[in-house]
Amino acid sequence: MKKILSLAVASALTCGVAMAKEIKVGAVMPMSGPLAAYGQVTNLGLELAHKQQPKLKNGDTIKLVLIDNKGDKVETATATTRLISSDKVVAILGALTSTNTAQTIAIADKKKIPVIASVATNDKLTARRTFANRVCFTDSFQGEVVANFAIESGYKTAVVVIDQAQVYSLGLSKAFQKAFKKKGGKIVKKIKVTSGDKDFKAVVSQIKKINPDFMFMPLYHPEASMIARQSKQLGLKKPMFSGDGVANQTFIDLGGDSVNGYMFTDFFDYTNPPSQTSAEFVKFHEKETGKAEMNSFTALGADTYNILIDAMNRCEDPTNSICINDQIKKTNGFDGVSGKISINSEGNATRSAVIKEIRNGKAGFKATVNP
Amino acid sequence: MDILTFMQQMVNGFSLGSMYALIAIGYTMVYGVLRLINFAHGDIMMVGAFLGYTFMAVFDLSFPVTVLLAVTLSAAFGMFMDKIAYKPLREAPKISLLITAIGISFFLENAFTVFAGGVPRAFPVPDYMENIFNVAGVTFSVASILVPIITLILLLGILFVLYKTKYGMAIRALSFDIKTVNLMGIDANTIIALVFGLGSGLAAIGGIFWAVNYPSVEPMMGVLVGLKAFAAAVVGGIGSVTGAVLGGFIIGFTEVVVIAFFPEMGGYKDAFAFIFLILVLLFKPTGIMGEDLEKSRF
């Protein structure tokens, strides 16, 4: 009897091991702090995608381990180290902004753990890194899109407001300036600000004096919304344009009616889902959250997860980080929530951009720009 | 630079500086009586702004009622903070008090992050505050002109309390020598609580007007403003109320001037504000209005 019992236990154990394991995937997101508005919507995308597809083809379950980096570089580094050394994750999603993602990549690259960034657009992020990948476009593409738009709209002179504390802002402003000058535009002034500033009346007064045709402000929403508000107060009425850093409902909430007419580049528009997969995800989002509006960062968050799962499915051992990384870089024409995504050997994505304009408190679709 | 832009920048500096001034008064008064730099003061401003947000956005109260309630509650909160955190340490070394203040600051920031979330919330600014005036080409909103006026009225009020009332006399006496004041039959703890109440009330006004001018509230909003107001208090002469207001204006103007004259250096305006602080500490350690640290207060 004893023998049979132990035999049964032993077989149950081996079965258990052979059947399915739990694989941990790390996520580093700013769930609090100044970037929380971005982190929370992106993480929602991860969670929804996980809910749709919690298992690999071979039956292994995926467990998402989320750590809040509070939007801080040091916290990001700590979180990344913790995920790799103590949670033993096979891949890391996020860190969101370029500045923080650079921290994550620097650490993960040494440990040979693949990273998929959702919205980190800085050009240099993936350079000379083997394990860095992203699903968003780069700043040089985004800068070019804005410059083209400005020139086509007949704007010849531009003021650029740069957040000198953010890699994102520095990179995007550089890309815009290069493209704008090349197409015959003139940068009349560069004004530097620092994230965390609230009072921009001096900046706005300065721009009003310069009187440019066009204002490009590659900033995040807390600063951009304050500039828009104070521009309205001081009577500055110029076309304002930002990158994906303001692609957020919080930006509209903070800006109120002063952001009417404000334009920005984005990745995705939920009212114009580019494919069947995309439309289905938008519906799933509505079912789960009760809200029809879906942030583009949610779509990108879902795509980081889905591309990772896709890559893992193609690996014989889905815990082999090197194989996962190789497969991510072989992603070609992936039918993502935010559109078709291909990732090249450098880890950069080729994908389309969307231009949006805020009208009556809603970000409205204006145009799709293909690479 | 033409005269119009110059005037506009002056108005901008005046409105920014007066908000630093409101908060700096609290720093300076607490320092005056306890020799404590209350690093939690900037966070009291944040608490005041959040109370304002709650009353307006959640309970839908009118703006004046909101200010009244938020200021009263913040003042009570300041007194409560003194009672639980600083009063037990009256006899302890000054450094313990300072560490406690930093601890309270972190506690408040994190507690609000837990309860209110980290996403900035839009402050519901009453429409009349956003009305724009245009005087000879210089534009300003009602809020940006109201704040300096309120600051100056409150400064006069505080000076009146300090120099014309019994409580003011007690506060000034306390700043000389706590032990002797106790012997004179004045309850030092009550007076210190009063100072915390006054300072916190002013910080709350500062917080609400900060939120009106820059309509977003979030748990970390008090950190940088608190530091700037502290710099203002030191520049003006810590321990002097008039000095605090003067220091506030100086820091506000410094920031604006940097952007107006060197737009490319605009990102370093905080650095300029703090360089000013260092220069003052180097050449006149007691600040502009401050007298010898061990002699007189206020």
Note the pLDDT tens digit of each residue in B241-294: 899 999 999 999 988 888 888 877 777 888 888 888 888 888 888 888 776 555
- Partner-chain contact B121 A70, CB within 8 Å: no
Which pLDDT value is given to residue A13? 52
- For A190, the closest of B12, B255, B264 (CB atoms) is B264
Chain B residues within an 8 Å CB radius of A38:
none
Give A308's contacts (C-beta < 8 A, 6+ positions apart).
A25, A91, A93, A114, A116, A324, A328
Joined together, the tokens standing for residue B18 give: 């007066």
What confidence category does residue B178 fall into, taking pLDDT thresholds of 50, 70 and 90? Answer: confident
Beta strand extents in chain A (DSSP E only)? 22-29, 61-68, 92-94, 115-117, 132-134, 157-163, 186-193, 214-216, 240-242, 263-266, 334-336, 339-343, 349-350, 353-359, 362-369
Hey, are the CB atoms on A199 and B120 less than 8 Å from each other? Answer: no
What SS3 class is residue A69? coil
Percent of chain A at pLDDT > 90 equals 50
CA distance B137 to chain A (A): 10
Least Cα separation, residue B2 to chain A (angstroms): 9
What residues contact A288, with CB distance under 8 A and at least 6 apart? Answer: A48, A51
Chain A: give the shortest CA distance to residue B194, in Å.
31
Reference A188, options A156, A149, A227, A148; nearest CA is A156
Q: Read off the pLDDT band of A98 (50, 70, 90).
A: confident
pLDDT, greater one: B296 or A97: A97
- Three-state SS for A97? coil
Tokens representing residue B281 in the block: 């500490």
Per-residue model confidence (pLDDT) at position A4: 61
Whether residues A206 and B121 touch (CB distance < 8 A) is answered with no
Q: How confident is the model at residue A127, as a pLDDT?
A: 85
| Binding-face residues of B in 142-181 toward A, CB within 8 A | 144
- 10 Å Cβ neighbour count for A104? 30
Closest partner residue to A202 (CB to CB) among B118, B120, B260 is: B260
Selected for mutation to probe chain B from A193, A211, A233, A249 (highest B CB count within 10 Å) is A233
Which residues on B lie below 8 Å from A253 (Cβ)?
Answer: 121-122
Asked if A199 and B265 come within 8 Å (Cβ–Cβ), the reply is no
Q: What is the pLDDT of residues B98-121, one digit of tens each?
A: 999 999 999 999 999 888 877 788
Tokens of A112: 């040979």
Angle between helices B166-176 and B142-164 (to 10 degrees): 80
CB-count burial class (<10 Å; 0-12, 13-18, 19+) for B58: exposed
Instruction: Say whether pLDDT at B298 is over 60.
Output: no
In this complex, do A234 and B139 lie within 8 Å of one another by their Cβ atoms? yes
Q: Per the structure block, which two tokens stand in for A47?
A: 């969670």
Residue A206, token pair as written in the block: 């300065």
Amino acid making up residue B260: A
Nearest CB among A70, A194, A206 relative to B263 is that of A206
Residue B248 to residues A260, B10, B206, B226, B261, Cα–Cα distance (Å):
34, 14, 12, 11, 20
Identify all chain B residues contacting A201, using CB atoms and an 8 Å cutoff. 12, 15-16, 144, 256
B210·A198 Cβ contact <8 A: yes
Distances (CA, A) of B58 to B50, B75, B201: 11, 21, 21
- ipTM value, please give it: 0.73
Q: What is the pLDDT of residue A2?
A: 57
The residues, any chain, with a CB within 8 Å of residue A262's CB and separated by 6 or more, are A228, A240, A241, A242, A246, A255, A357, A358
Measured between beta carbons, which residues in chain A are less than 8 angstroms from residue B256?
A: 201-202
* A235–B269 C-beta distance less than 8 A: no
The per-residue pLDDT for B129 is: 82
Cβ–Cβ gap B9/A205 under 8 Å:
yes
Q: Are strands A132-134 and A263-266 parallel, antiparallel or unpaired?
A: unpaired
The answer, yes or no, to whether residue A132 has pLDDT greater than 80, is yes
The share of chain A scoring above pLDDT 70, in percent, equals 95
Q: Is A216 helix (H, G, I), strand (E, B) or coil?
A: strand
What average pLDDT does the structure give for chain B? 88
Q: Is the pTM of this model over 0.90?
A: no
Contact yes or no for B266 and A225 at CB 8 A: no
Instruction: Say whether pLDDT at A17 is over 70.
Output: no
State the average pLDDT over residues A44-51.
94
CA–CA distance, B66 with B156 (Å, rounded to integer): 23
Tokens coding B7: 């005037």
- Whether the Cβ atoms of residue B129 and residue B142 lie closer than 8 Å to each other: yes
* Residues 127-166, chain A, touching B (beta carbon < 8 A): 162-165
Confidence of residue A12 (pLDDT cuts 50, 70, 90): low
Distance CA A90, CA A321 (A): 6
Q: Measure the CA–CA gap between B13 and A24, rounded to whole angstroms.
A: 53
Distance from CA of A82 to the nearest CA of B (A): 22
**In terms of CA atoms, which chain A residue is nearest residue B129?**
A233
Does B137 contact chain A (CB < 8 Å)?
A: no
- The answer to whether the CB of B6 falls within 8 A of the CB of B164 is no
Those residues with Cβ within 8 angstroms of residue A278's Cβ, 6 or more apart along the chain or in another chain: A268, A299, A336, A337, A338, A339
Q: What whole-number distance in Å separates Cα of residue A143 and Cα of residue A102?
A: 20
